[in-house]
Structure 1
Amino acid sequence: MIAPPYLKKGDTIAIVATARKNIEDNLQPAISWLKNWGLEVVIGSTIGLDKNQLAGTDEQRAADFQTQLDNPNIKAIWCVRGGYGTVRMLDLLDFTKFKQSPKWIVGFSDVTVLHSHLNTMGYQSIHGIMPVSSKATEDAKESLRKSLFGESLKYTVPCDQMNRYGKASGVLVGGNLSILYSLFGSPSAIDCTDKILFIEDLDEYLYHIDRMMMNLKRNGCLESLKGIIVGGMTKMKDNDIPWGKNALEIIDDVTKTYKIPIIYNFPAGHLADNHALILGRKISLEANDLESTIVFE
């Protein structure tokens, strides 16, 4: 997988909206982070646009993103927030100039659309906090900075009681489970073969989690994986008649026949402690009875 050039002080990063609108005056904290890191900031034309839930029309969001893709002075594009809508503009984009001069695409949640599409093209991207992540921990911010500047990235977290022990290495893919599920069958679907899969989600019914995991199982994704990292399964919902398992228990049940290491409750996803993950990068993973370690190679 191709890694775009890492950032250096003086480089410029663009903040754009690819999905839900951002009409509040809420970007100053994130701009301050970037300035403290020695970066310059460009605010995209979609920031402030308001079309119902979305940041302008599909064409407006695509045009703004395209402008930043094609501008050689922009070294990274930081998506302002998730929600829904990135997939609506995806097919309006032309990645010709991006391929000539790749740059980092950063975000999570609905931005999984872009991560998955870039993965099929053979490019790495960064799953991490977004400009509106005002409650992000200092560790989460620092992990994004390290990812952008190409510094060593390694995570060690305490062992979770649900973990399945073992070692694995492979290219990291994934993101938001609902988005991954929605992309299967499309040209932007990830290839799970020999990969390590990261999944997280927010505000889903528990039976939906089961439905999506069964889809991954039946389409052959799970059986071809080398390992799984489960991030935050946040604010899950149940029906009046309970499903009977929580989100992690659902994942455990669907994956129980696969002899691969699985890390549960990794600090990434819709959490304040949302650690950056370089998707498309080869990692080494180890889970034992003391701790879990992820090393980006």
Structure 2
Amino acid sequence: MQPVEFPPIISRSQKICAIAPSGALREWERFEQGVKVWRDRGYELTIPDRLSQSWGYLAGTDEHRCQQFVEAWNDPECVAIACARGGYGSMRLLEKLTWQELSDRPKWLIGFSDITALLWAIAKHKGMGGLHAPVLTTLGNEPARSQQQLFDLLEGKIDAITLTGEGLITGKVTGILLPGNLTLATNIINTNNCPDLENVILAIEDVAEAPYRVDRMLTHWRWTGHLRKLKGIAIGRFSQAEVSTPSLTMEEVWRDRLSDLGIPIVMNLPFGHDGENAPLPVGCIAELDGDNGTLSYRVNN
């Protein structure tokens, strides 16, 4: 993977478009809290009239959600797109999108979890970087530090971010940061929406996945050969990890499935569900230090 083109820095009073490309929006109080964070910052966050639509577990039909995304992306006044929530559904849009219909002007796409599918596909097909960061239904519950990191990064007020976790496998490498949800990423590899994984530092997180299911996904990655392409692996939060008895711990799964790769691995980094979710730019230059347990990165706009 090559470094991507990032959007320009943004400033208060500019227009932000909210969209719901994935699951149906039900957490309205949490959604309004996230909207308030943006508006209190001085941004003009616009909400489409039909954001509340639902079709089963989806926030409307594929056509409706795809149209929402395309209109926001092509809106010349909109400088960033804030996804309402994750859930499931953004990968279905990749069947509908015609990449040529999207403007070639880089624009911040902000979200995580299910939004991984759009973030990775935009990096692959458009060569543009987005931001793996809180969605609107989680932003209001973020600690002040990660909220500040998000806006400082978007507004060009910070040169670099260093996250501290725990080194699992030693060594230090520089590569291209590719963050995402492990379940979504596992379903994207070996498709034409997957970025080239050569020279990549893979940053992964997930929620409600038991150690044996994480084991199964990593075993699939081993079979595909993609793990051998990576420069390093940064592991965020794997919350609500149901543990059956008997079970390996999550750390034991990491060691068993990853330690023979001979690349630096850092775990327990502050990103993912159910806690601090530091912003991770998709496609930026990053350094992973397994000796000191850190992930450092910068965006050169």
* TM-score normalised per structure 1: 0.92
Cα distance in 1 for partners of 2:155, 2:33 equals: 20
Structure 2 match to 1:63:
67
Q: Which residue of the other structure, out of 176, 194, 219, is the alignment partner of 1:214?
A: 219
Asked whether 1:154 is paired with 2:168, we answer no
User: 1:37 maps to what in 2?
Assistant: 41
Shift of 1:99: 4.2
2:161 partner amino acid: K
2:233 maps to which residue?
Answer: 228
CA distance in 2, matches of 1:64, 1:214: 36
1: CA distance, partners of 2:131 / 2:253: 27
Unmatched 5+ residue regions in structure 1?
none
Q: Which of structures 1 and 2 has the larger relative contact order (alpha carbons within 8 angstroms, sep 6+)?
A: 2
RMSD: 1.8
1:28 equivalent among 32, 43, 52: 32
Residues 99 and 253 (structure 1), Cα distance of their counterparts in 2 relative to 1, 3 Å cut: farther
> Which residue in the other structure is 2:118 paired with?
114
**Matched residue SS, 1:10:** coil
Greater alpha carbon shift after TM alignment, 110-119 vs 204-213: 204-213
Deviation at 1:96, TM superposition (A): 3.0
Kindly state the Cα deviation for residue 190 of structure 1 after the two structures are TM-superposed.
3.0
Q: 1:95 to 1:13 in 2, by over 3 A?
A: farther
Aligned to 1:140: 146
Worse overlay, 24-33 or 70-79: 24-33
Structure 1 residue aligned with 2:264: 261
Give the Å deviation of 1:66. Answer: 1.2
Do the aligned partners of 1:228 and 1:263 also contact (CA within 8 Å) in 2? yes
**CA distance in structure 2 between the partners assigned to 1:286 and 1:78 by the alignment:** 31
**Is 1:200 aligned to 2:205, yes or no?**
yes
Supply the AA of the counterpart residue of 2:181: N
Compute the displacement of 1:293 (Å).
4.3
Counterpart CA distance in 1 for 2:163 and 2:24 is 35
Q: Which runs of 5+ in 2 are unaligned?
A: none
Q: Distance between the aligned counterparts of 2:177 and 2:50, measured in 1? A: 30
Tell me whether 53-62 or 40-49 shows the greater mean CA deviation. Answer: 40-49
- Aligned partners of 1:156 and 1:183: how far apart in 2? 26
Is contact 2:163-2:269 (8 Å) kept?
no
Are 1:80 and 1:131, in contact at CA under 8 Å, matched by a contact in 2?
yes
User: Per-residue deviation at 1:45?
Assistant: 3.8
Matched to 1:62, the amino acid is C
Q: TM-score, normalised by structure 2?
A: 0.91
Instruction: Work out the CA distance in 2 between the residues paired with 1:176 and 1:169.
Output: 21
Corresponding residue SS for 1:256: helix
